[in-house]
Amino acid sequence: MPGQNMSGEQTIYSKPPKTRMDMVMAPMGAITMYTDGSDSAVMCMALTGTRTCNKMPMSQAGAQAPGGASTEDVLRRPDDFTATPAGNRTVAGQNASCFNVAPKQAGVGFDSALMCATAQGVLVYSEIKSKQAAVTLEATSVNVGANAVSD
C-alpha cells in the first residue's frame, strides 16, 4: 500500500543463526518469516484468511517485509555495510547504542538505516529507508533468555 501509513505489532525471536519474525499489520493481516542464517527464508502470510507459506531468497523476502529482512541482511553479512556511531537512546527501558547503517553496494533492499541495539545485541529500534518504503520499528518490551526459536 504505497504512500499509506500502517501500524501493527512485530515480535522477533532470535537464537542465532535462527530468527522468527511475526508481524500483524492492519488492515493487511499477518506475516511470519523464518530464517536460519542461509540466503533464503520461509515466509507465511495470512492476508485474506488463507495461510500460505513459501520459501524464497532473502532479497525477495526483503521486498515483502523490508524492516525484518534488512536487519537480517546486516546481521548475516556485516562486511557488506558501513556503520557509524549515532549516539544512544533509551527504548523500552533499555539503554541502546545507535548506528547509521548503509550498504556498500546498491541492491540489498534498503538505502539507509538507523539501528539501535542493547549491549546484549538486542535490536530495539530501527528506521529503514528505501526507494519503495520507510519502515520504523520500535520495541515496546524486551525479554532476553526465552527459548523462542525452536531447534
Q: What integer pLDDT is reported at residue 97 of this predicted model?
A: 95
Amino acid at 31: I
pLDDT of residue 101: 92
Using left for φ > 0, alpha for ψ between -120 and 50, and beta otherwise, residue 66 falls in alpha
The arrangement of strands across the sheet holding 51-57 comes to 7-15, 18-26, 29-35, 40-46, 51-57
pLDDT at 57: 79
Buried b (16+ CB within 10 A) or exposed e, 52-68: eeeeeebeebbebbbbb
pLDDT in tens, the chain (151 residues): 455 666 777 787 777 778 887 878 766 778 788 788 777 888 888 876 678 888 887 766 655 555 555 666 777 678 888 999 999 999 999 999 999 999 888 766 788 899 998 888 888 898 888 887 788 888 888 887 655 444 4
CA dist., res. 94 & res. 109, Å (int): 28
C-alpha dihedral sign at 111, 116, 122, 127: negative
